[in-house]
Amino acid sequence: MTAAPATSAHQDGPEILPPSRILVTGASGLLGRSVARRLVELGYEVTTFQRSASGVTGARDVRGSLTDEGAVANAVQGQDAIIHMAAKVSVSGRREDFVQVNILGTERLFDAAWAAGVESVLYVSSPSVAHSGASLVGAAAGPADPAHAEGNYAQTKAEAELIAEARGSAGVNVVIMRPHLVWGPGDRQLTKRIIDRARSGRLPLLGTGAPLVDTLYIDNAVEAFVAGLRRLPLIAGERLVLTNGEPRPIGELIMGIAEAGGAKQPRLRVPPAVAKAAGLAIEKAWAWTGPHADEPPMTKFLAEQLSTAHWFDQRRTRELLEWTPAVSIDEGLLRLARHVRRTGRVL
């Protein structure tokens, strides 16, 4: 296998040879699978680790769970670097399930990486680890705050991020990257839900829909992670939020995604305070009547996300990664619409 080409830290700086053997955890999800495919294309020797098949041609699949110490140890053997994306992602569910994967699974991965001599880990987190519900306007990547993060996912990811930072202080090269609201063809978490609910008339806009929100188109996310991997030893210790750098009114963005998916634009409007109260009630009822195959239609956290501004200063991210998003929001919507028309589906 030919190693990926060398790249330089800066135009006048020393050249570095990026790692060639990469483990990508969570490659059955859109982002992990897309990053693994791109790394294969670029000549990296890629291993993927997840519970189901990744579907990444040219990668070595290792099947297993972060809850299985032996499987994790097997996956990290012989690797130069790890991109750790695997997580339990949901707005509902038992806290213990999140703890087992997001916190204890991260500990197992770092323990196994240390024992195997892996020197570099790109840890994938979420801006929600530092979000307590208030508006974020041009915010930096603040420290993870488990005590104030909203919901089991954000709280356990915040605790896991602190674990990653501690391991970085102990000698592993660790970079924390927080992609914000990744969307595009193939996305189940945001894109498909918006389109499905808009098609069924169950997608409300909260308030005026005017708060500015920044998102990240899938192709841009992939290239950002490739850039982070190549520059990982040089930017170790950093935490970076990743977005397109194009804040849009959230109502405009939701309507754009719905329309690109062939759905009518949502017309139902709900006051944010009503949505938050309803979300809290739905969360409690969901917990009592679960488990469920789908996510609850509304939660307190989701109502906050849909009614408050949250966008981030991208200057440091772009400087450190030497990366700029190539696909604009408008171009992303066109690509999504073309994909839906061509295939008849979002995935």
**Which sequence positions are flagged as catalytic?**
153
Handedness of CA 211, 327, 154, 235 (dihedral sign): negative
What type of residue sits at position 245? G
What is the C-alpha to C-alpha distance for residues 153 and 292, in angstroms, rounded to an integer?
Answer: 17
Within 10 angstroms of residue 1's Cβ, the number of other Cβ atoms is 11
DSSP summary character for residue 57: T
**What is the crossing angle of helices 104-116 and 151-169, to 10°?**
20
- Helix or strand run (H / E) with residue 25: strand 21-25
Do 85 and 31 meet the contact criterion of CB atoms below 8 Å apart? yes
The full DSSP string for 139-161 is E--PPP-TTT--HHHHHHHHHHH
What is the C-alpha to C-alpha distance for residues 55 and 262, in angstroms, rounded to an integer?
Answer: 28
Do 103 and 143 meet the contact criterion of CB atoms below 8 Å apart? no
For residue 287, is it left (φ>0), alpha (ψ between -120 and 50) or beta?
alpha
The full DSSP string for 284-317 is HHHHHH---SS--S--HHHHHHTTS-EEE--HHH
What contacts 7, CB < 8 A, 6 or more positions away?
Answer: 15, 16, 18, 230, 231
Three-state SS for 223?
helix
Report the 3 state secondary structure along 108-141.
HHHHHHHHHCCCEEEEECCHHHHCCCCCEEEECC
